[in-house]
Amino acid sequence: MSSGEGHSRRRSLAFRLTLWYGGIFAATSAFAFGLVYLLMLAVVQERTDEDLREDAAEFAAFMQEGGLDRVKREMQLETLGEEAEEVFFRLWSSGGREMASTDLSTWPALDVPPDELLRLEPGADPELETLPDFQDGHDVRVVYTAPAPGLVLEMGQSLAEDEEFIGTFLTGFLITLSGVVALGAPIGWFMARHALRGIRDVTRAASEIASGTLDRRVTVRSQGDELALLAQTFNTMLDRIQALMVGMREMTDNLAHDLRSPLARIRASAEMTLANGSGSANYEASACSTIEECDRLLDMINASLDIAEAESGAARLNMADIDLTALVDDAFELFNTVAEDKHLTLATILPTTCHVRGDRQRLQRVVANLLDNALKYTSAGGRVTLRLVDEPPQVRLSIEDTGVGIPPESMPRIFERFYRCDPSRSENGNGLGLSMALAFARAHGGDITVRSTLGEGSTFTVLLLAARDSPG
Contact set with ligand ADP (CB under 6 A): 373-374, 377, 401, 403-406, 414, 419-422, 429-435, 458
CA distance 107 to 295: 120
Sheet order of strands, 98-101 included: 98-101, 87-93, 151-158, 138-148, 127-135
Q: Tell the smallest beta-carbon distance from residue 267 to ligand ADP (Å).
A: 23
How large is the C-alpha radius of gyration of the chain? 51
- Looking at the Cβ atoms of 101 and 336, the one nearer to ligand ADP is 336
- Looking at the Cβ atoms of 443 and 466, the one nearer to ligand ADP is 443
Q: Tell the smallest beta-carbon distance from residue 389 to ligand ADP (Å).
A: 19
> Are the CB atoms for 319 and 448 separated by under 8 Å?
no
CA distance 309 to 460: 23
- Looking at the Cβ atoms of 88 and 419, the one nearer to ligand ADP is 419
- In terms of phi and psi (left: phi > 0; alpha: psi -120 to 50; beta: otherwise), the region of 81 is left
Q: Tell the smallest beta-carbon distance from residue 281 to ligand ADP (Å).
A: 33
> Are the CB atoms for 384 and 339 separated by under 8 Å?
yes
Count of CB atoms situated within 10 Å of the CB of 175: 10
Q: Tell the smallest beta-carbon distance from residue 459 to ligand ADP (Å).
A: 8
Q: Tell the smallest beta-carbon distance from residue 377 to ligand ADP (Å).
A: 3
Q: Looking at beta carbons, which pairs linking 55-62 to residues 24 or more positions away fall under 8 Å? A: 55/143, 55/155, 56/126, 56/143, 56/145, 56/153, 56/155, 59/145, 59/147, 59/153, 59/155, 60/122, 60/145, 60/147, 62/147
- Looking at the Cβ atoms of 60 and 346, the one nearer to ligand ADP is 346
Q: Tell the smallest beta-carbon distance from residue 273 to ligand ADP (Å).
A: 29
Task: Return the half-sphere exposure (C-beta side, CA atoms, 13 A cut-off) of residue 269.
Answer: 19
- Looking at the Cβ atoms of 231 and 434, the one nearer to ligand ADP is 434
Q: Tell the smallest beta-carbon distance from residue 382 to ligand ADP (Å).
A: 10
> What number of residues does the chain have?
472
- Looking at the Cβ atoms of 79 and 458, the one nearer to ligand ADP is 458
Q: Compute CA 377 distance to the chain's CA centroid, rounded to the nearest angstrom.
A: 49
- Looking at the Cβ atoms of 214 and 298, the one nearer to ligand ADP is 298
The amino acid that residue 151 corresponds to is L
Q: Tell the smallest beta-carbon distance from residue 463 to ligand ADP (Å).
A: 17
Residue nearest to ligand ADP (CB): 429
CA distance 76 to 60: 16
- Looking at the Cβ atoms of 307 and 356, the one nearer to ligand ADP is 307
Closest CA to 354 of 330, 319, 321: 321
- Looking at the Cβ atoms of 154 and 416, the one nearer to ligand ADP is 416
Count of CB atoms situated within 10 Å of the CB of 146: 25
Q: Tell the smallest beta-carbon distance from residue 204 to ligand ADP (Å).
A: 42
> Are the CB atoms for 266 and 291 separated by under 8 Å?
no
Using alpha carbons, list the distances in angstroms from residue 470 to 141, 165, 317, 326, 354.
100, 94, 20, 14, 7
